[in-house]
Amino acid sequence: MARRKDDDRTWGMRATESLLHVFGPASIKRDAPRPPSEADLAKEAALHQRLQRVTRSDGHTYLVDRD
């Protein structure tokens, strides 16, 4: 299939658009986010009690145990 002169799409865009016939358009869920469960909040609290965030002088940040 020959390209039209006014078709300025890249080969990647043409390939992606050809896959739409098989997979269809993206389905994006736009509902409000769920609040965290009690188990998630408990896990988060336990991690904050056990771990400490440390930033080195070069700016890298990592987690260490609070021993």
Please indicate, yes or no, if residue 42 is contained in any of the structural domains: yes
pLDDT digits (tens, 9 = 90+) for 42-67: 999 999 999 999 999 999 999 999 87
* Residue-level pLDDT at 18: 87
Residue 43 DSSP SS3:
helix
> Is residue 8 in a domain?
no
Query: Which pLDDT does position 1 carry in this prediction?
Result: 60
Which residue range(s) make up the domain with 54? 36-67
Number of domains in the chain: 1
Backbone angles phi, psi at 42, to 5 degrees: -65, -40
**43 in a structural domain:** yes
Distance CA 32, CA 26 (A): 19
User: Is 44 in contact with 29 (CB distance < 8 Å)?
Assistant: no
Domain membership of residue 62 (yes or no) is: yes
pLDDT band at 35 (very low <50, low <70, confident <90, very high): very high
Q: What per-residue confidence (pLDDT) applies to 63?
A: 93
How far, in whole angstroms, is CA 28 from its chain's centroid?
13
Does a structural domain hold residue 59? Answer: yes
pLDDT in tens, 9-32: 888 888 888 888 888 877 777 888
Evaluate whether residue 65 is within a structural domain: yes
